[in-house]
Amino acid sequence: MNKDLRPKARVAKGFRDVGPDEIRGLRTMLATIQRVYEDYGFEPVEQPFVEYTEALGKFLPDQDRPNAGVFSFQDDDEQWLSLRYDLTAPLARYVAENQQSLPTPYRSYRQGWVFRNEKPGPGRFRQFMQFDADTVGSASPAADAEVCMMAADTMEALGIPRGQYVMKFNSRKLLDGFTETYKIGEDVKLTWLRALDKLDRLGKDGVALLLGPGRKDESGDFTKGAGLSDSQIEASLAFATATTLDPQFVSGSASGEEGLRDLQAMETLFAASGYGKDRVRYDSSVVRGLEYYTGPVFECELLMETKDEDGRTVRFGSVGGGGRYDDLVARFTGQKVPATGFSIGVSRLYSALKLVGKAQESNVLSPVVVLVMDKDRQADYWRMVMALRGAGIRAEMYVGTAGMKAQMKYADKRSAPLVVIQGGDEKARGELQIKDLRLGSELAANIASREEYAAQRLAQFSVPESELVAAVKQALGN
């Protein structure tokens, strides 16, 4: 092929390849999360990666080609399809489509990849995994409280002790009640919400600027503020930093008072169930980004600290969140169907666990490699492999065409613990050689000269062919 016509070997921008260690570590973590969700009585369900674009609804831009924020394409019928943006909108479609056959409330969990057509950045990818749990069909604050308790139990099941995480909750109704009470207009409400959401990062002074005239960041970029009055800013900061539910912030607002009652009911359930404020607590700065939340909202924050690339201490922050979304199913049915749920950012949580040594490493041993010393005797080597596999030992026969040196290099790259060697002389004696690559590496590190190295057959020993399985088990420590 003409060199100029060759495609460039590169991963697509905003995507990444994942290796075996991370895949196995993720599987272990996901199994732990699944066990907790199953213990709570949630059932697995799965929706496809692709949905009709209209099913994703008002959360997409209204454009001729609806691909801002999502990846979209047209099928043969010229209908627009999109890769799912999250796992919640597909669930809403599924419930609406199967409502008659599902129990009410419907409690389910699902995990899978989601896709966002957004500008990628450090640690921000266009494809990532989520793990969700939702209760659809219950308006009770008990359903919201249960989701928070389940998230707290999940963190502890993953090895994160109390005091190293917190499940924070608030209510969009409470936020709406504040804006009604303090006359914050609809035209600046979204700016107000976004400003409160930045309290942890910018502090009170930074948020005050976003609530008022605006703020210029370190790069010189200016963000327009909400233009609130001094009294509105003062009240907003007092509300956002409050640690207890205070009726004064929503006085006279029906929505706010309803939200207050919901959160008070949740706090009663937490206290009765033994979930103290070291695990689950009210935090008025919790806003959540998506606009479809209608009631309580939650966020799980890891409090452990680590160092960034510049050696500065940083906190992990949010690894999951969710809330109540009572209007989502109604888009399909025209009838209000209450729902609440929680979503874990799988990759982010796994990265955090790994950095603090809490990720459960895979205990899968690399395979024993049977070398092919005589190409005319592949059947003999294959029988060795089958005997090892039959004894529950991961094993493979080298299926390439290279000589012994390349085969040993292959085994090394595979991180093989052992190789099995049988040339013509060993076969004649009814023996085979087992070389322990792990022990050999350790011994080689302590050898000073090439002559000393050559004089030793590092960690290599002969056994009768009939004792292959027993010898390999012993060498592996089984």
Question: pLDDT tens across 25-57, in order?
Answer: 899 999 999 999 999 999 999 999 999 988 886
Going from N- to C-terminal start, the domains of the chain cover: 10-49+84-184+228-355, 368-476
What does the mean pLDDT of the chain come to? 88
238: left (phi over 0), alpha (psi -120 to 50) or beta: alpha
In this structure, the strands spanning 280-282 and 165-171 are parallel
In this structure, of 203-212, 332-341, 352-361, the range with the lowest mean pLDDT score is 352-361
Can you give the pTM of this predicted structure? 0.84
Helices 378-390 and 468-476: crossing angle, nearest 10°? 60
Mean pLDDT of 375-394: 95
Residues 79-120 have pLDDT tens digits of 989 999 899 999 999 999 999 999 999 999 999 999 988 888
Q: Which of 60-64, 75-79, 158-162, 367-371 has the lowest mean pLDDT?
A: 60-64
Q: Is the pLDDT of residue 61 over 70?
A: no
Neighbours of 182 (CB within 10 A): 20
Long-range contact list for 210-218, CB < 8 A, 24+ apart?
A: 211/236, 211/237
Q: Taking Cα atoms as reference points, which of 326, 312, 327, 432 lies closest to residue 371?
A: 432
**pLDDT value of position 161:** 92
Rounded CA-CA distance 444/412 in Å is 14
454: confidence class by pLDDT, cuts 50, 70, 90: very low
For helices 172-181 and 186-197, give the axis angle rounded to 10 degrees: 130
pLDDT of residue 444: 44
Q: Name the CATH superfamily, with its identifier, for domain 10-49+84-184+228-355.
A: Bira Bifunctional Protein; Domain 2 (3.30.930.10)
Q: Could you identify the residue written with the tokens 């707290």? A: 152
- Superfamily for the 368-476 domain: Anticodon-binding domain (3.40.50.800)
